[in-house]
Structure formats: C-alpha cells, structure tokens
Amino acid sequence: MPKLPSPFLVLLHTHFTLLLISIPFQVNSQIPNTEELTILINIKQELGNPPFLSSWNATSSPCDWPEITCIENSVTEISLQNKTITQKIPPTICNLKNLTFLDLSLNDIPGEFPDILNCTRLEILDLSQNLFVGPLPNDIDRLSALQYINFGANNFSGDIPPSIGRLSELQKLYLYQNEFDGTFPKEIGNLSNLEVLGFAFNEKMKPASIPVEFGKLKKLQTLWIDEANLIGEIPDSLTNLTSLEILSLAINHLTGPIPSGLFSLKNLTKLYLFNNKLSGELPNSFEGRNLVELDLSANNLTGSIPEDLGKLQNLQLFNLFSNQFSGKLPSSIGLMPSLTGFRVFENKLSGVLPAEIGLHSKLEAFEVSSNQFSGQLPQHLCAAGVLTGVVAFSNNLSGEVPKSLGNCSTLRTVQLHHNKFSGEIPSGIWIAFNLSSLVLSNNSFSGELPREVSCNLKNLTIGHKSQQIFRSNSCCSCFLEKN
C-alpha cells in the first residue's frame, strides 16, 4: 500500500499529538523490571535482532530505551514508528500488562491483523501504513479501552466489523485507504465520544448510503469519507452534528440537494462535497459564518449564488466551478476580506464581475472562464500583490485589460482568449518574471508586439497560433518572432 499522499496527514498528526498531551506519563530509570525486560528482549529476537533496537539489552532498564515509556517502572508505551520492520509482531507483546500505547506505523509489517487482542489496556493503537491484509477481527471490541485507532493505508479487506461500535471510549477512528468491500456499519453511530471518523479512499466499498445513525455523533468534529462509493442523498441527520468542523464527502456518487442545515453549523470551517452528482439550489441563508474553505465543484447545482455567501468573513477558498449556476454574482463577494481562491468557471453566470474583488483580500487565483460575464475585468485583482492566475476566457468581457496587471509580478498564467477585449496589453505583463502562460487570442487588441518577453513564458498565443519564442543564453533576452 503506498504511503498516504494527503493533506489530512497534518490533521492526523495534530489529533495524535493532542491525544498524547492528554495522557500523563513519566520516565523512571530504576531497577529493571526483570519480567518486562525478558519479554522485550524476546520480542527483539523475534523481530530478528534489528540494528535499530541495539539499545534493547539485558544490562539496562527498558525505561531508558528510546522506544519505551514507563510509569512507575512499568512499560506503558512502545513506539516503533518508521523502523522498517518486516516481521510479524509477536503476541507476547500483550504480556506487558500495563501497555496503553502501541505505535507500529510506517513500517512493512505483513500478514493479517496482529495477535494483540489480549492487550486489553491499550488506549492508542496505530497500525497505519503497513502491509496488513485480511479482515479486521469481529471481536475487536475486546480492546475496550481504545481511544485512538489508526488502521489507515493498509490492505485490510472484507467488512468493517459492527463490533467496532461497542468501543465506547473511542475518540478517533481512521480506516482510510484500505481494501474494504462491505458497507459502513450503522453501529458506529453508537460511539458517543467519537470526534474524528476517517473512512476516505475505500473505493472498493459496496455502493451504500451514509448511515443516518452517524447523525447521533454529537461530539464529531471531522467526518472524512472521500472516494468511498457513497450513493444516495446526504442524510438530514448530519445537520445535527453541531460540533462538526470538517465535512469531506468528495469524489463519490451522492445525489439530491445539499441539506440546508449544513450551512447553519456554527463550527463548520471546511466543507468539501466536490465531484458528486448533487443537484438543487443553495439556501439563501448561511448562518454558519466560520467557513474557511468551501468546495462544491463538479456537481449539478443550479440557481443563483446567494448574497449571503458573500458575507462569509473567513472564507478563503471559494470553489463552485463546473456546475449549472446562473444569474449574477453578488457584489458582496468583492468585499470578502479573507478570499484567496475564487473559482466559478464552467457555469452559466452572467452580468458584471464584482468591481472590488481583490481589493480587500490577498487574492491568489481568479478563475471565471466559460460563463457569460460581460463588462470589464475588475481593476484591483492584484491589489495585494500575490495574484498568480487570471483565467477568464470564453466570456463576453470587453474594454481594456487593467493596467494594474502590468505591475503584477506574481502572475503565472493569464488566459483571456475568446472575449471582446480591446486596446493595448499592459507592457508589464509581457515581462512578468513568473509568467509561463499568456493566451490572448480571439479578442480585438491593438498595438505592437514587444521585442522581449519573460524567459519563463512557455505558452504564448496571440492569434490563431502559438507565438514562437527565441531564447538566448541570457535569461534576460527572450525574443518574439515577428511575422
């Protein structure tokens, strides 16, 4: 199983660290506990006496070993993360009667679920990013003290056992990126202490709806089920998750409207529903004003973009592209103080673009192509000096390109083709150091081509064909062929 390439790794690390902070521990260098010493030396031998365990020897206390943590001279934690382990974990590890923490992540441990169900005091168990195969044990609830489970990025298969819903102390449950081929057990809705539920990237799951019982998870802060073959509608019960901060159900086959109550969740900061088959209109009211990232792209959403959406003072990511939205953009969008990415391309939007967009925030991406916008490009897109892209092709935009873009050194792409622009191109655009793509064809521009352009420019289209760029050995001398 490949190692997890996901932005959620930061999230996992944060949750893991918070749990560690909440568990008191101390290290005591005392007379060795001879029984535990013998157990650990035997474990070392069964693992093939690997060099990384060279400190595990009979002449020192296990409480002094870097992989071991003790309380009152008894082993409570073992951390063997990223140690290139290729052997199975011996069941004798459960003879350590006070073991509460076991981290075996980021190794190459093979075989089925390890024989550790007798480690009944375990509170934290991390088996993520190994080579485990086969089903999870049906009696996994024998580990009744578990607060944190991470079995992600393995090859576990079969059903997720309903008994997992009896782990009443569980706070974090990660089962992402496996080979499960059953459905999500509704019993998970009984985990009253659950704060994080991560089922993403289990594309072999049978097509199934989100269990309505998940709406009972009152403490849930993160629900992460991307690319898991979800079908049907998003249950209204999820609007009861008042502690929810992150909801990610992207890359599935969900249909129907988005429950309006999701936009009223006061703690919700990130909502990812992109790449589904969702339909209907957005609600007029957005009471959940803490949204930071909103991605509803690549669905079948219709209607207008609500005025209330422009009142989200914390919103940075605004992704509504590849839908069927129509009508005018609310002018309030131009006043959003935190907006960094604005993407509404491939819709049926019309009217003029918000005049003040970019003036009040650090706008980095402005992508409005393939709509029916008219009027001019906003004048202040690069007011904060961090704009990297203006993508506005295939509209009815007219007038001159704002001169302010000629002073925007951060630009990497400018795509304005198939519009009604006129006048001269601001001279600074041609030599913007970071610019790699400039597409201006099918407009009514006037003036002469410059002799020199940015040496990073790889794609330049002015007429019906790409313009040829000649480069000298000096990066300061790049010349246009003039036909």
Taking residue 353's Cβ as centre, other Cβ atoms within 10 Å add up to 26
Single-letter amino acid code for the residue at 104: L
CB atoms within 10 A of CB 436: 15
pLDDT at 481: 53
Cβ–Cβ < 8 Å for 279, 302: yes
Match 């006496």 to its residue by tokens: 49
Q: Pull the structure tokens for residue 300.
A: 């079948």
Strands annotated E in 282-368: 293-295, 300-302, 317-319, 326-328, 341-343, 348-352, 365-367
d(CA 93, CA 151): 18
Q: Using CA atoms, how far apart are residues 313 and 302, in angstroms rounded to an integer?
A: 24
| Phi and psi torsions of 396, nearest 5° | -120, 35
Alpha carbons 478 and 88: distance in angstroms, whole number: 60
User: What pLDDT score was predicted for residue 3?
Assistant: 46
- CA dist., res. 431 & res. 406, Å (int): 9
The pLDDT, as a whole number, for residue 67 is 97
CA distance 313 to 104: 42
The answer to pTM > 0.85 is yes
Distance CA 425, CA 400 (A): 8
pLDDT per position in the chain (483 positions), as tens? 444 544 455 455 555 555 554 444 444 445 558 999 999 999 999 999 999 999 999 999 999 999 999 999 999 999 999 999 999 999 999 999 999 999 999 999 999 999 999 999 999 999 999 999 999 999 999 999 999 999 999 999 999 999 999 999 999 999 999 999 999 999 999 999 999 999 999 999 999 999 999 999 999 999 999 999 999 999 999 999 999 999 999 999 999 999 999 999 999 999 999 999 999 999 999 999 999 999 999 999 999 999 999 999 999 999 999 999 999 999 999 999 999 999 999 999 999 999 999 999 999 999 999 999 999 999 999 999 999 999 999 999 999 999 999 999 999 999 999 999 999 999 999 999 999 999 999 999 998 888 888 889 999 998 755 554 444 333 444 555 544
What stretch of H or E contains 280? strand 277-281
Q: Is the separation of the CB atoms in 287 and 267 below 8 Å?
A: no
Strand spans (E) along 33-190: 68-71, 74-79, 101-103, 124-126, 133-134, 148-150, 155-158, 172-174, 179-180
Q: Could you tell me where the beta strands, DSSP code E, fall in 378-477?
A: 389-391, 396-399, 413-415, 420-423, 437-439, 444-445, 459-461, 469-471
In contact, 344 and 366? CB cutoff 8 Å:
no
The residue length of the chain stands at 483
